[in-house]
Structure formats: structure tokens, C-alpha cells
Amino acid sequence: MNPFDDQLTALDEQLEAYEPMQRWFIYIVIALSLILMSWMFFTSDMIDELSSLQEETSALETKITQNSPQAYQAKIAHINKALLKGEAQITDLASQKEILTLQMSQSQGLLFDNRQYATILDRLLERSVSLGLKIQSMQSDDTDKDFYGKVKQYKALKITGSGNFRSIAAFLAFIEEQKSLVEVENVVIRSNEEKPSFEMTVKYMGVAL
């Protein structure tokens, strides 16, 4: 016999020494202990498996919630709201810029405006007529070049004509008094004719935004 069989035989002999009631009690305790241990191992595995299933279920529910049609609709609504807000801000800024540009152009003449320039040309012609000057030509060229800092030269207007000295001087003063950034250069007056003739170049400038 091997040592394990010897131990079992010794255990049987010890149990035979007890009273029948005591032996039954020992058998019941041993059986209950085995059942309890088996239940604990089984329950432990079940708890681990249940916990894992709960985690997977929670992760799946979160993923479903995040990718549900309602979630996408909420995201789209949020994006649309942000876009509308951005468009409103852009429209507001554009309106403010247009108002500011108009105010600056009208009050200070710091900004060059083609419509204002056309009005200035009409006024120059009207003033020359009222002064008795004969305008032979008004040649306007686009220059669009930097003048100084943020000031740009947009137009160069070459004017030629004839009239008396007083009218020519008054015409020059009228040009310089215009509500715009101007510089008169290359003024030439010839008096060796029946009526003095003149020519000049007027630079029209404005602040670049």
C-alpha cells in the first residue's frame, strides 16, 4: 500500500472510533464544506463573468448612444447653430466696415472711392466753366501704387487748358481744397500766347484698408 492509502485507512479507523452520531455529524460537515467550496468557486467565476458582461454592455450602450440618430441630429443642430452665429457675425462686421468706410469717405476724404472721384471730375469741370477756363483735356490714369506708409496713389489726372492768371490760380486753389487727399505737381503756365495756357498733374490718394 502507498502512503496515501495508509492515511485513508488511519482516517477510517479514527472515524470508526467515534459514536455513530458523531460520525454522521462529521460526514455532514465534510459534505457541506465541499458543497460550499464548490459553490464559492462557481460563484466567483459567475461574478467575474457578470462584471465583464456589465462592462461590455455599458460600453456598447455608450457607443450606441453616441452614434444614435438623435445624437447625430443634436451634433448637426449644434454645428448649424454655430454656422448661423458665425454668418451673423460676418454680416455684422461687413455692415460695420461699410458704414465706417462711408463715414470716413464722406467726412474726412481719407479713403479713395471711384464714385467720389467721378463726382470730383464733374465739379472740376463745373468750376473751370464758372472761372472762364477752357479745358482742353483731362486724362485720368490708374496708378494704384504705394505713396507713403498706408497711403496709396490711385489716380493721376493730367489737366491742360487756358485762361487768365487769376482764374488759373483760383482753379488750383479749388483743387487743393477738395475733401480728398490730393497732391498737385508739374504745374506749367505759359504766357507767351494770346491767353495763358496751363498744364498740371493731380495725384489722388487714399488710405489703404
* Residue 29: all three cell numbers together: 460537515
* CATH assignment at residue 180: 3.30.70.60
* Domain ranges, residue 144: 109-207
Please report whether residue 158 resides in a domain. yes
Please report whether residue 6 resides in a domain. no
206: confidence class by pLDDT, cuts 50, 70, 90: confident
**Residue 171: what pLDDT?**
93
Could you tell me which residue, 93 or 115, shows the higher pLDDT?
115
42: confidence class by pLDDT, cuts 50, 70, 90: low
Which tens digits make up the pLDDT trace of 185-198? Answer: 898 988 876 788 99
Distance CA 197, CA 189 (A): 6
Q: Name residue 207's beta-bridge partners.
A: 151
Query: What are the Cα distances from residue 154, in Å, to 13, 123, 183, 192?
Result: 123, 19, 12, 34
**Residue 159: what pLDDT?**
93
Please report whether residue 145 resides in a domain. yes
Which tens digits make up the pLDDT trace of 69-88? Answer: 776 677 777 777 777 777 77
Mean pLDDT of 55-65: 74
User: What is the chain's mean pLDDT, rounded?
Assistant: 77
Please report whether residue 74 resides in a domain. no
The structural domain count of the chain equals 1
CA atoms lying within 13 Å on the CB side of residue 207: 8
Query: What are the Cα distances from residue 60, in Å, to 54, 72, 151?
Result: 10, 17, 64
Quick check: 19 pLDDT over 80?
no
**Residue 107: what pLDDT?**
47
Please report whether residue 25 resides in a domain. no
Distance CA 82, CA 71 (A): 17
Which tens digits make up the pLDDT trace of 130-180? Answer: 999 999 999 999 888 887 777 888 889 999 999 898 999 999 999 888 777
Percentage of the chain beyond pLDDT 90 is 16
Which tens digits make up the pLDDT trace of 91-109? Answer: 777 776 665 565 555 545 5
Please report whether residue 61 resides in a domain. no
pTM of the model: 0.48
Distance CA 183, CA 199 (A): 14
Which of 201, 104, 206 has its CA nearest to residue 147? Answer: 206
The whole-angstrom distance between residue 128's C-alpha and the CA centroid of its chain comes to 51
Which of 175, 205, 174, 171 has its CA nearest to residue 189? Answer: 171
Q: Name residue 183's beta-bridge partners.
A: 203
CB 155 within 8 A of CB 137: no
Q: In what helix (H) or strand (E) does residue 189 lie, and over which residues does it extend?
A: strand 181-190
